[in-house]
Amino acid sequence: MEFVFGRRTIGVTVPDRETLMTLLRARLSAGTGFALATINLDHIVKLRRDASFLDAYGAQDFVVADGRPIVWLSRVAGRPVSLVAGSDLVVPLTRLAAEVGVTVALVGSTQASLEQAARALRQGAPTASIPIRIAPSDVFDPDGAEAGAILARLRDEGVGLCFLALGAPKQERLAARARREAPDVGFASIGAGLDFLSGHQTRAPQIVRTLAMEWVWRIAQNPRRMIPRYAACLAILPGLFVQALRRRLR
């Protein structure tokens, strides 16, 4: 499934979770590093407005569908992909890192949340090594000196996998920079995934997610922030549907 932004095209490059885990196992085992992004409608809204975000997405090695509208659009286009939510990848990827013997770092959120997330991850992956937990400053800039110091530390301490919980577009921009400055580290941009693990944010119950109603839950949790976001997402859906239908007809 692909989306057009002027002369640039960004698409889902990995169709399902099983394929993704196979690809990431190979990268982690070889120590070749990667950048993983999880595209959703909010990202598409931002990609249309932010050229630096678009450039960062173009530098990602793997892109999966993190949002049911992306899955539905892929079916309309005749190129179906499966839902691979970033928050659902944190524990499985930590287990995978433990299996292949690489260390894990957590970057983003708050220090308290990261410490609690690390404890939760050790319950799900008891043999995991998570020695580095970094909560960047409130003025964190993925192009700035603070980001450079973080990448240097991850590189110099031999981290194999780093979860980025900085929110879009900061996490994807940092991952894109990391492909140049810390090429042996695998970066997974997972948004609120660590805050869900730590309990600092409450994720929608499984039944709500199964019914594709997580957006209602999130609006109820934070209406001031989420209503404008989902309104912008809703506004672009008709055009994306037409694009997908045209792809199918071609």
The domain that contains 45 carries what CATH number?
A: 3.40.50
209 part of a folded domain = no
Strand 132-134 and strand 104-108: the pairing is parallel
Query: Are 194 and 136 spatial neighbours (Cβ–Cβ below 8 Å)?
Result: no
Whether the pLDDT of residue 184 is over 90: the answer is yes
When divided into structural domains, the chain yields a total of 1
247 part of a folded domain = no
| CA pair distance 121, 196, nearest whole angstrom | 11
Task: Look at residue 56 in the predicted model and tell me its pLDDT.
Answer: 98
| CA pair distance 207, 184, nearest whole angstrom | 38
Average pLDDT across the chain, whole number:
95
210 part of a folded domain = no
219 part of a folded domain = no
Domain that holds residue 80: 2-201
Instruction: Report percent pLDDT > 90 for the chain.
Output: 86
218 part of a folded domain = no
96 part of a folded domain = yes
Locus of tokens 């929608």: 204
Task: Look at residue 217 in the predicted model and tell me its pLDDT.
Answer: 85
Sheet holding 104-108, edge to edge: 62-65, 34-39, 186-189, 161-165, 104-108, 132-134
Whether the pLDDT of residue 75 is over 90: the answer is yes
214 part of a folded domain = no
The total number of residues written for the chain in this structure? 250
155 part of a folded domain = yes
Query: Are 193 and 124 spatial neighbours (Cβ–Cβ below 8 Å)?
Result: no
The pLDDT tens digits of the residues spanning 76-89 come to 999 999 999 999 99
